[in-house]
Amino acid sequence: MERKGKASLEDIARATGVSKMTVSRVLRGGTGFSDDTKDRVTQAAARLGYIPNRLAAAFGADQASTLVGICVPRLTSGLFGQVLDGVERALSRLGYQAIIGTNAYEAAEEEAWVRQVSSWRPAGLILTGRVHTAGTVELLRSNALPVVEIWDLTTSPIDLSVGFSHRDCGAEMGQFLLRKGRRRAGYVGALAQADVMGRARMEGFAEALAAGGHPLVDREVLLDRPGFYQGYYGLETLLARSPKLDVVHFHNDEMAIGGLHFCQARGIRVPEDLGIAGWGGMEAASVLPKRLTTTVVPTTAIGKASAEALVARIRGEAPQEVTVLPTRLVPGETA
Amino acid sequence: MERKGKASLEDIARATGVSKMTVSRVLRGGTGFSDDTKDRVTQAAARLGYIPNRLAAAFGADQASTLVGICVPRLTSGLFGQVLDGVERALSRLGYQAIIGTNAYEAAEEEAWVRQVSSWRPAGLILTGRVHTAGTVELLRSNALPVVEIWDLTTSPIDLSVGFSHRDCGAEMGQFLLRKGRRRAGYVGALAQADVMGRARMEGFAEALAAGGHPLVDREVLLDRPGFYQGYYGLETLLARSPKLDVVHFHNDEMAIGGLHFCQARGIRVPEDLGIAGWGGMEAASVLPKRLTTTVVPTTAIGKASAEALVARIRGEAPQEVTVLPTRLVPGETA
DNA sequence: ACAGTCAGGTTTACCGGTAACGTAGTCCAA
DNA sequence: TTGGACTACGTTACCGGTAAACCTGACTGT
């Protein structure tokens, strides 16, 4: 039982008395060898602890890399974790490996990541959002790299797109709240400088309200990340400025839950005195004393669908260019 | 402005009139070339849109791969997302790329992943937990692959270890609850078949209670994953069987919050009628109407420290073999 | 005047796997 | 008996980057 830590096809070939090309054919399940040869090669490979070297295979002329890059804004958000989970499972099942990256909502960081990961000659990339630097787009185009843009839908993707419209999410919530009789709406946001998708939701929300004749009264968009505390203090700030609001829509569920606790602390009755609406569909939102009115996002499904579309493209099949995975507004007891 | 999508050192060499070895030296910031040559090469590289081919570099005899594999049980848990965030940031800063994987708490799945990812000749691996198959250990040992085992501390790691003791977490909570006067404790768990780390917490908890003279009265360990609903129904089941408990410790914070809502729904006063304690340190836990008594885990710090230790090992420095990052029991208002 | 040193290169070999192509032997039908 | 088809291989070249060895002319000190 010899072991070197790194047996190559050559080693197996020597041990078996055939050429390394034959070994390659046997181990990749090709044809053109006898059963006897197959057995001897297979046994030698097992005995030597052979581990195929994908680096060498991908390096060759064929460029058969099975690496896929996936870049999300941040990993501390539960939503992106779920997306990643969907991506990873699907890729793994299809025989691909995922290289991850984060861009902190910065297109420039995304470009740096794309440049880095491109040097591994990946088979394809999954990017979050539809805003990219010119450099990124140029890089992807000139390398003819299969790409899926996820999360925020675009009707003219670089290559493929899987997601939903953030603007529509905001608009739908605006219309819903108007139907519920709300007339003086506010908005509490976060990541003001960075998150264009959050901003799209806010704009869709404001537009729908304006179209309904009761425009957005006030908004408080923090520079900070969207967390519970930020929701708490964001609502406090907003209400200090505009005390007569009758409903507040939040950047996401974490912030909305923070807002709910502010109301509880101040004795503001929800939904009687003030309605609260979130976005995202955190599991926590559905087990609150009062179920949060929110929009549920098909995170895992987006991950899965994007990975499958990308692999289809890589394999030369013709996947659907734009896949819409609709969100679902779930009326709760808070608005 | 020519572009082919794949310029090589050779192309730059031709365009500049030097050898590709010289181009390699310039682009890697070596020495042995004039400023004039350097400028011409740099400009040609930019003009041709050169992207280095790490595949080729890693493939060569030097084996200078900058890939690092990281395997966690699941990505849908916020805690592991935070770990991954810490890992990814640190690796990226140090010039490494992360390939992710999940093992669903199964050592056999981990082995399959290690085998897959090994074929990319990674510079090192980060694994979650200290339970691995014999095949995994053999594979890592024979390849002399730098490895960090994170999350659950082991005093005799395969190579390096960064984390804390789950058993101690459970024990500490047991002692704390005894000091608070609790005498009839229960436990609600999840992932009974799979999560050895959750089991370690439960065992530590039970031991501490027994040592204090008031052993664990009853436990309900679900096969399901640890979620809000599972906490809700787990507590319902447990109390149906053992109605006289005065405190219940949960597998994690999600389940504990589920338990809190069960209490709210049934009019059970917390902490007067029943104490509730969680584990993990979800941000949500700290903004509940009553702050949850829980154990905060240094997730991001573990990710960061493990990545840094691994890179130190890869670079031939001598990192600390075992790094303990302590958890912190945070008394809330629920127990 | 000549060996020694050094900057600034070039040449060669190699990593492991695979595509493309070559070849020896066998079998069978015309 | 010959030629075509088929099986079961072997040979060669190549991918892109890098280590190591080698080369060359200019300058230097004695």
Q: Write down the pLDDT at residue A2.
A: 38
For A220-274, the pLDDT digits (tens) are 999 999 988 999 999 999 999 999 999 999 999 999 999 998 998 999 999 999 9
Calculate the angstrom distance between C1' of D23 and CA of B52.
28
Chain A hits for B84, Cβ within 8 Å:
75, 81, 100
Q: ∠ CA(B65), CA(A145), CA(A63), 5° rounding? A: 50
Calculate the angstrom distance between C1' of D10 and CA of B235.
69
Q: Which two tokens stand for residue B76?
A: 């849908």
How many C-beta neighbours within 10 Å does residue A132 have? 20
Domains and their CATH numbers in chain A: 9-52 (1.10.260.40), 67-164+299-326 (3.40.50.2300), 166-296 (3.40.50.2300)
Give every CB contact of residue A29 below 8 A, 6+ residues apart in sequence.
Answer: none
User: Any bridge partners for residue B186, and if so which?
Assistant: B218, B248
Strand ranges inside A246-287, DSSP E: 247-250, 275-277
For B56-66, the pLDDT digits (tens) are 999 987 777 99
Phi and psi (nearest 5°) for A263? -60, -45
For residue A193, pLDDT over 90 is answered with no
For residue A84, pLDDT over 60 is answered with yes
Average pLDDT over residues A9-19: 95
Q: Which of A58, A76, A143 lies closest to B85 in CB terms?
A: A76
Pairing of strands A294-296, A328-330: antiparallel
Confidence of residue B5 (pLDDT cuts 50, 70, 90): low
Angstrom distance (rounded) from CA A189 to CA A221: 4
Closest-approach nucleotide to residue B34, Cα vs C1': C8
For A293-325, the pLDDT digits (tens) are 999 999 999 999 999 999 999 999 999 999 999
Confidence of residue A5 (pLDDT cuts 50, 70, 90): low
Q: Which of B51, B121, B232 lies closest to A53 in CB terms?
A: B121
Q: Write down the pLDDT at residue B284.
A: 73
Q: Which nucleotides of C are covered by protein (CB under 7 A)?
A: 7-12, 14-20
- Residues of A 82-141 whose CB lies less than 7 Å from any atom of strand C: none
Q: Write down the pLDDT at residue B32.
A: 87
Average pLDDT over residues A71-95: 96
Q: Write down the pLDDT at residue B1.
A: 33
Q: ∠ CA(A309), CA(A329), CA(A296), 5° rounding? A: 50
Pairing of strands A124-128, A67-72: parallel
Pairing of strands A275-277, A294-296: unpaired
For residue B289, pLDDT over 90 is answered with no
B93 interfaces chain A, CB cutoff of 8 Å: no
For residue A61, pLDDT over 50 is answered with yes
Average pLDDT over residues A49-61: 91
Confidence of residue B290 (pLDDT cuts 50, 70, 90): confident
| Closest of A323, A332, A237, A236 to residue A279, by C-alpha | A332
